[in-house]
Amino acid sequence: MKVIADFNFEDGHKLSDYSLELSQDFPLFAEIKNNILILTPADTYRGGELIININGQWDESEPVVVLLKNAKGKAYLDEELQIDNSSPKDSEGNVRIRSLNGKAYLIILIKLGDNFQFTGYKITSK
């Protein structure tokens, strides 16, 4: 397996330091506190999305393995993998990288009324 990305969050860093960005269409409140990224939907009518940017060219038909470290709460990874943990634990699954205009990415979706937090992530190719 090839490691595509492997990050552990630390206070004082920006989301972009971890190849992350907030969706403009489905915004989230995001804060790194005590080395935990805490995500809450900002819109009172819709959920929010966190975008994981992937460097390089990827074949959308090939799945990757995504590990969200110490994940707690409810979220969906590209609507393929549901995470619903009442206490922090590593959550792992296979998903497919998406691409648009030559940019490869994954999306973490947090539905309205849900909160989600995790301490880092790792992406590997199969």
CA 21 to chain centre: 9
Q: Which of 102, 112, 109, 2 is nearest to 56 (CA)?
A: 102
Structure tokens belonging to residue 53: 């940017």
Q: How far is CA 88 from CA 18, 54, 61, 117, in A?
A: 20, 25, 31, 8
Per-residue pLDDT of the chain (126 residues; tens, 9 = 90+): 899 999 999 999 999 999 999 999 999 999 999 999 999 998 767 899 999 999 876 777 778 999 999 999 999 998 789 999 999 999 999 999 888 887 889 999 999 889 999 999 999 987
- Could you give the C-alpha distances from 109 to 1, 34, 44, 45, in angstroms and in order? 26, 22, 15, 14
The one-letter amino acid at 93: G
Whole-prediction pTM:
0.92
Q: 10 Å Cβ neighbour count for 77?
A: 23
Phi, psi of 51 (to 5 degrees): -100, 130
Architecture of domain 2-125: Sandwich (2.60)
Q: Cα separations (Å) of 31 from 15, 66, 98? A: 9, 21, 25
Q: 91, 71 in Cβ contact below 8 A?
A: yes
